[in-house]
Amino acid sequence: MEDIVSLAKRRGFVYPGSEIYGGLANSWDYGPLGTELKNNIKQLWWKRFVHQRDDMTGIDAALIMNPKVWEASRHLENFSDPLIECKNCHDRFRFAHMSEDVVCPTCGKKGRWTNPKQFNLMLKTFLGSAEEQANVAYFRPETAQAMFVDFKQVLDTTRKKLPFGIAQIGKAFRNEITPGNFIFRTREFEQMEIEYFVREADWKESFEEWRSQMWSWMTDTLGLKKEHIHELEVPDGKRAHYSKRTIDFEYDYPFGTKELYGLAYRGDFDLKNHFKEAPPYRDAETNELFYPHVIEPTWGVDRSVLAVLCDAYAEEEGRVVLKLRPHLAPYKAAVFPLLANKPELVAKAKEIHSALKMHFAVAWDHRGNIGKRYFAQDEIGTPWCVTVDFQTLEDNTVTVRDRDTLKQERIKATELASHIAGKLGEV
């Protein structure tokens, strides 16, 4: 994990947040390469689950919603963790992580704890200038609620019929008691969520469909190794307050096997709570009014980035290489002039770089020797390195070196973009 955190910082994937002010515990900023990787993940998700399907549509809702939303969704009442407090130093810890006689991790004194108390995880703020109870609002702890609250508006504007889903990508906030493990658990994070609306009779079939979609996303789209992913059927009493069934998809992170994504059957809990007056869905044929049931597949963006980095990181043959699937890589290619002090090579390489940039994100490097430049690109997962040499000036061909096989082939510069596009299409 240390190697991954250090690479992430050194190469500009993820930096500690507010670092020049001594940082802010558990806050992280995505740097240039991390932003590209994260955007690639979000774009692939949107393409796969919204654009390529007829039964999906997307929204982008406000982060702060009317506090009544959280009353109706029962988050104010239930979205909490039991905490115990050390009677000596008054620091608080999650009850689930402690036993009666454990030594306090903060002050080192043994076994003097208060009884567990519920601590709400929603991040509070005040709207307007007065910090009064009347002005209390909450940053959303899940993106999901907007899909329920906007359900009728989406229905009216899109004329979707069951089964259909609403997708959203966006930030969520939780006042986590024990954040940590790099970007695994933070107080501000991003989710990609789908609320998929079905008839009650169809929930099991839909649950299974989304279960296999999630597997395919993890193994085919992200390229995570199957053996690193495990399903956990969350037992009664351990599920979120709204869920009738939950499967957690766990990943083998270097710090342990922990949750990556979740799949829940929320029944009609949320729509019933928000549309108390009348059911929000009318069957076009039978005219029957009813509450659709909900299957909710949910993906953490930051945990996706983390799992992808962990799975891709390798040290081999004296080099560090991120074996990212090419469509996830921050740069699809890098272009180098063989020698930086030969203006004709640099000019030709610049020309090829500019042309390629119209199609993909492409890096440029002219420093140091070619071997070092290859290593620098391997470390950030660039799948193909293009070198412009003296032969290029004669026959307009370039060398393309493959990150994984280390093989080099000679390609016509004019065919470079379609060559790379073809390779991206294969993977």
Least separation in angstroms between CB 52 and ligand GAP = 22
Least separation in angstroms between CB 251 and ligand GAP = 10
Q: Which residues pair with 229 in a beta bridge?
A: 251
Point out the residue whose Cβ comes nearest to ligand GAP: 300
Tell me how far apart the terminal alpha carbons of the chain are, to the nearest angstrom.
27
Least separation in angstroms between CB 154 and ligand GAP = 17
Determine if 302 is a binding residue for ligand GAP (CB under 6 A).
yes
Q: Which is nearer to ligand GAP, 297 or 337 (CB)?
A: 297
Q: Which is nearer to ligand GAP, 145 or 377 (CB)?
A: 145
Going through 140-228 in order, the beta strands assigned E by DSSP cover: 164-173, 188-198
Q: Which is nearer to ligand GAP, 191 or 397 (CB)?
A: 191
Q: In whole angstroms, give the CA distance from residue 353 to residue 332.
A: 12
| Sequence-separated (6 or more) residues with CB below 8 Å from residue 319 | 375, 378, 379
| Pairing of β 14-16 and β 64-65 | unpaired
Among 267, 300, 326, 383, binds ligand GAP (CB under 6 A): 300
| Pairing of β 56-58 and β 164-173 | parallel
Sign of CA dihedral 90, 93, 95, 100: negative
Determine if 81 is a binding residue for ligand GAP (CB under 6 A).
no
Q: Which is nearer to ligand GAP, 193 or 268 (CB)?
A: 193
Q: In whole angstroms, give the CA distance from residue 169 to residue 192.
A: 4
Determine if 298 is a binding residue for ligand GAP (CB under 6 A).
yes
Among 40, 191, 206, 377, binds ligand GAP (CB under 6 A): 191
Q: Where does residue 277 rank: exposed (0-12), middle (13-18), buried (19+ CB within 10 A)?
A: exposed
Q: In whole angstroms, give the CA distance from residue 144 to residue 42.
A: 17
Least separation in angstroms between CB 404 and ligand GAP = 28
Least separation in angstroms between CB 406 and ligand GAP = 35
Where in 268-297 is the site for ligand GAP (CB under 6 A)? 296
Least separation in angstroms between CB 172 and ligand GAP = 7
Among 113, 189, 197, 253, binds ligand GAP (CB under 6 A): 189
Residue 234 DSSP symbol:
P
Among 36, 81, 142, 270, binds ligand GAP (CB under 6 A): 142
What DSSP letter does each residue of 257-290 carry, written as one string? EEEEEEEEEEETHHHHHH--SS-SEE-TTT--EE
Report how many residues bind ligand GAP under the rule CB under 6 A: 18
Token readout for 31 is 């740097």
Least separation in angstroms between CB 77 and ligand GAP = 16
What's the length of the chain? 427
**Residue pair 164/196 in contact by the 8 Å Cβ criterion:** yes
Q: Which is nearer to ligand GAP, 242 or 374 (CB)?
A: 242
Least separation in angstroms between CB 153 and ligand GAP = 20
Q: Which is nearer to ligand GAP, 142 or 311 (CB)?
A: 142
**Residue pair 218/299 in contact by the 8 Å Cβ criterion:** no
Where in 152-181 is the site for ligand GAP (CB under 6 A)? 174, 176
Determine if 193 is a binding residue for ligand GAP (CB under 6 A).
yes
Site string for ligand GAP, 235-264 (x = CB under 6 A): ------------------------xxxx--
Among 75, 140, 274, 303, binds ligand GAP (CB under 6 A): 303
What DSSP letter does each residue of 157-175 carry, written as one string? HH---SSEEEEEEEEEE--
Binding site for ligand GAP (CB under 6 A): 142, 144, 174, 176, 185-186, 189, 191, 193, 259-262, 296, 298, 300, 302-303
